[in-house]
Amino acid sequence: MEKTKKRILLILISILILIIGITLYFLYPLLKMKPAETGSINNTNVFALRNGINSIFFIKSENGYIMIDAGSSANKIEASLKENDINVTDVKWILLTHSDSDHVNSLPLFSNAEIYMSEDEINLANGTIKRNLFSYNSLPVNTDEINLLYDGQELLFDNIKVECIKTPGHTDGTMIYLIDDKYLFTGDAFMVSNNKLSVHPFTMDKELAGQTITSKTRRPSSNSTHFSQRSLLVSLRKSKVIR
Ligand SMILES: [Zn+2]
């Protein structure tokens, strides 16, 4: 009887160690990422809104805001917008880096905005293909109404220029955006830690993501302004981006 008790205890302890190990394995890379805190980014016209594990960004134009990604919690974002005097109806354009839930969940708040995303992401966004073995992505808006973008496309919102750059790997259609040749918004295309780019932990095709890092970017030079955060904003000279 005593032996049986000991065995059960040993099994329970082993399971507990396994659970802690798995949790740390997934948490550790996330802890290394530091999302931008809410507020204006120094020397830019970019405003960051921290939303839990990542941040969303606003660029002010003459007639409204461009928003990059849509965060994980609609309720928190709605409250933060009020606190920071940003009216949801002033958000005119939303650029999605990809369709993971923590980048799209507040989309229904912005009924005034046109939504943009890579054409290569649509099959993931509308549930035609799986995100991983167990789950599908699902957008809280009608995916038929999303404006689809191609690699190298240029957009002009008021007087603000946007270049769309395909960076597959994290998801099939991950796209990053270079604004006015200065600010590169990369979502989860890369993980940034200690000024180094690496593959994000929750990536569909890690090999492809690695190739993307090599082919599309170079490490930020020491004189570039570099903000380390999950939904990354890197200030780069245009020459630093290879298309
Ligand atoms: Zn993601």
Overall average pLDDT of the 97-107 stretch: 95
pLDDT at position 231 is 36
Closest CA to 101 of 76, 71, 144, 143: 71
Query: What is the structure's pLDDT at 191?
Result: 80
Q: Write the CA distances from 12 to 1, 23, 106, 111, integer angstroms.
A: 17, 16, 40, 50
Dist. CA 172 → ligand 1 center (Å): 11
99 Cα: distance to centroid of ligand 1 (angstroms)? 7
Q: What is the mean pLDDT of residues 203-207?
A: 93
Residue 222 pLDDT class (50, 70, 90 cuts) = very low
- Rounded to the nearest integer, the mean pLDDT of the chain is 84
Confidence (pLDDT) at 237: 38
Q: What amino acid occupies position 34?
A: K
pLDDT at 30 over 80: no
pLDDT of residue 195: 63
Q: How far is the CA of 9 from the centre of ligand 1 (A)?
A: 39
35 vs 14, residue with greater confidence: 14
Please compute the mean of the pLDDT values over residues 211-235 and round it to a whole number. 49
Q: How far apart are the CA of 18 and the centre of ligand 1, in A?
A: 25
Per-residue tokens: 190 = 């890369």
How much distance in Å is there from the Cα of 1 to the middle of ligand 1? 50
Return d(Cα 196, Cα 209) in angstroms, integer: 14
Scan for tokens 């940003």, then name that residue.
86
- Looking at residue 184, its pLDDT comes to 84
Q: Ligand 1 centre from 4 Cα, in Å?
A: 45
Percent of the chain with pLDDT over 70: 85
Q: What is the CA radius of gyration of the chain?
A: 20
Distance from residue 86's CA to the centre of ligand 1 (Å): 25
Give residue 72 CA to ligand 1 midpoint distance, Å: 11
Find the 237 Cα to ligand 1 centroid distance in Å: 25
pLDDT at position 124 over 90: yes
Residue 130 has pLDDT above 80, yes or no: yes
pLDDT (tens digit, 9 = 90+) per residue, 137-150?
A: 999 999 999 999 99
| 191 burial type by CB count under 10 A (0-12 exposed, 13-18 middle, 19+ buried) | buried
Looking at residue 147, what is its pLDDT?
A: 98
Tens of pLDDT along 43-85?
788 899 988 888 899 999 999 999 999 998 999 999 999 999 9
**Which has the higher per-residue pLDDT, 31 or 243?**
31
What per-residue confidence (pLDDT) applies to 182? 80
Q: What predicted TM-score, i.e. pTM, was given to this entire model?
A: 0.82
Q: Side by side, which strands form the sheet with 65-68?
A: 39-40, 46-51, 54-60, 65-68, 91-95, 114-118, 147-149
pLDDT-derived band of residue 213, with 50, 70 and 90 as boundaries?
confident
**pLDDT: is 30 or 211 the higher one?**
211
- Report the separation in Å between the CA atom of 202 and the middle of ligand 1, taken as the mean of its atom positions: 7
